[in-house]
Structure 1
Amino acid sequence: MSADPKVFEIACPHCHTTIWVDPASRSVIRSEKGAAKPKSSLDELLEKEHVRRQGFEQKFEATAELEKQKKQKAKEQFEKALANKDLEEKD
Structure 2
Amino acid sequence: MFRETVDRVVEYSSKGVYGVDMESTALMTAAWYRGVRLTVIASVSDELHHDGRWVKGSQSRRLRVTEKLIVRAALDTASDLEP
What's the TM-score once normalised by structure 1's chain length? 0.29
Give the number of the structure whose alpha-carbon radius of gyration is greater: 1
With a CA cutoff of 8 Å and minimum separation of 6, indicate the structure with the bigger relative contact order: 2
What's the TM-score once normalised by structure 2's chain length? 0.31
